[in-house]
Amino acid sequence: DIQMTQTPSSMPASLGERVTISCRASQGISNYLNWYQQKPDGTIKPLIYYTSNLQSGVPSRFSGSGSGTDYSLTISSLEPEDFAMYYCQQYDSSPNTFGAGTKLELK
């Protein structure tokens, strides 16, 4: 299985701050990388698909980039509703696997 190492595991941040979450795959995944957000109430929604494509309805302050084994999610200016858990997921090979998650917390 491809291992996804996601960092940091938690991140205190302030409103308006720019933050970046990283995911490193144990082997190249050819940009087959998605990002999800889980809210405190448990609801999960996709943010970014295929490394850098914004899912419909997701604010433009979210962006994704990367290639090979290294990928990142950036939030350009934190809003109150962005404090949540974030997960990366690779689908280059089966079984698809998730990163361990990053908890974005209010500083």
Partner 1 sequence: EVQLQESGPGLVKPSQSLSLTCSVTGYSITSNYWGWIRKFPGNKMEWMGYISYSGSTSYNPSLKSRISITRDTSKNQFFLQLNSVTTEDTATYYCARYSHILWVSLFDYWGQGVMVTVSS
13 binds partner 1 (CB under 8 A): no
80 binds partner 1 (CB under 8 A): no
**Phi, psi torsion values for 8, nearest 5 degrees:** -80, 170
Encoded amino acid at 105, one letter: E
39 binds partner 1 (CB under 8 A): no
62 binds partner 1 (CB under 8 A): no
How far are the Cα atoms of 22, 40, 68, 95, 107 from residue 64, in angstroms, in the given order?
Answer: 10, 22, 14, 22, 23
DSSP 82: G
Between CA 106 and CA 2 the distance in angstroms is 31
Rounded to the nearest whole angstrom, what is the least distance from the CB of residue 6 to partner 1 in the complex?
10
Looking at the Cβ atoms of 18 and 33, the one nearer to partner 1 is 33
Q: Which residues bind partner 1 (CB under 8 A)?
A: 32, 34, 36, 38, 42-46, 49-50, 53, 55, 85, 87, 89, 91, 94-98, 100-101, 103
